[in-house]
Amino acid sequence: MFSGISKETYSLIPNIIIVFINVKFDINFISLQGNIAIVKDNYKEYRIAFGENLRKLRKARNLDPIDLAALIGGVDPKQIYRIENAENIPSHEMIIAIAVKLGYTPAQLHDFKFPLKLNTEFRKVDHVSSKSNLTYLRRLMDESDFLKDNRTVSEIVSKCSELFKIDLKSTSVSIALKSLVIKNELVRTPSSKRKNRYLYRIKN
């Protein structure tokens, strides 16, 4: 924890989690388990805008990066330069420390105009038990031509999620697929691209 920041200060932070993804390249935000629709965004551009706003607020206090680093304590001025130039990703604690020492709230550091694309599609995905996997796999076989071609487990899981709005686990689906192979309903062949991976299709 940075010096000069009390627990009371932390408790005043709005209940909003601002996530910075610590990577050096542009990425898309992809929701976990398909519970939220995919929302594409360029996070590097947001970091650039954040850095520019931080620089503006710092200059408004007549401070240079060396001064700000000294106020925070235990921080290399280069860190401030890198954050302002979108070369470094500040931790949540660093954002709080910078805001407090500049006399702003953490929210004010993010108070700038930016065309951030927000998710507008919210759907609940039904979680199913392993016993239900066979039911959905058979529906996939009966209601579509998807399994007429060789498919990986991950492709089958994704297709079931798309068609039936369910959350199937790859491990459980793999077990169910093997049982359908034993029952001669599906054919399993080794993948030519990945070792110890198999492809599944309907038996002709």
For the segment 104-110, the average pLDDT, to the nearest whole number, is: 94
For the segment 94-109, the average pLDDT, to the nearest whole number, is: 95
pLDDT tens track for 23-50:
333 333 333 333 333 333 458 889 999 9
More confident call, 61 vs 167: 61
At residue 193, the pLDDT reads: 84
Are the C-beta atoms of residues 31 and 43 closer than 8 Å to each other?
no
Torsion of CA 190, 193, 199, 204, to 10 degrees: -80
Average pLDDT, the chain: 79
Task: Provide the H-helix boundaries in the chain.
Answer: 7-11, 43-60, 65-72, 77-84, 92-102, 106-109, 133-143, 153-164, 170-182
Q: Is pLDDT of 145 > 50?
A: yes
Based on the fold, state whether residues 77 and 140 are members of the same structural domain: no
Q: What are phi and psi of 77, to 5 degrees?
A: -55, -30
Q: Is residue 118 part of a domain?
A: no
At residue 165, the pLDDT reads: 85
- How many structural domains compose the chain? 2
Based on the fold, state whether residues 18 and 83 are members of the same structural domain: yes
> What tokens does 27 get?
């990425």
Based on the fold, state whether residues 16 and 103 are members of the same structural domain: yes
Are the C-beta atoms of residues 80 and 65 closer than 8 Å to each other?
yes
Based on the fold, state whether residues 188 and 138 are members of the same structural domain: yes
Based on the fold, state whether residues 26 and 105 are members of the same structural domain: yes
For the segment 85-114, the average pLDDT, to the nearest whole number, is: 93
> What tokens does 59 get?
């200059």
Q: Is residue 115 part of a domain?
A: no
CATH at residue 194: 1.10.10.10
CATH at residue 54: 1.10.260.40
Domain that holds residue 92: 7-109
Q: Is pLDDT of 167 > 50?
A: yes
The end-to-end CA distance of the chain, in Å, is: 64
Confidence band of 123 (pLDDT split at 50, 70, 90): low
Nearest of 20, 27, 5 to residue 92 by alpha carbon:
20
Beta strands 198-202 and 126-127: pairing type?
unpaired
pLDDT tens track for 50-96:
999 999 999 999 999 999 999 999 899 999 999 999 998 899 999 99
Q: Is residue 169 part of a domain?
A: yes
For the segment 175-202, the average pLDDT, to the nearest whole number, is: 90
Calculate what percentage of the chain has a pLDDT beyond 70.
75
Q: How far is CA 9 from CA 40, 108, 137, in A?
A: 33, 15, 52
Based on the fold, state whether residues 88 and 163 are members of the same structural domain: no
Q: Is pLDDT of 7 > 60?
A: no
Based on the fold, state whether residues 146 and 196 are members of the same structural domain: yes
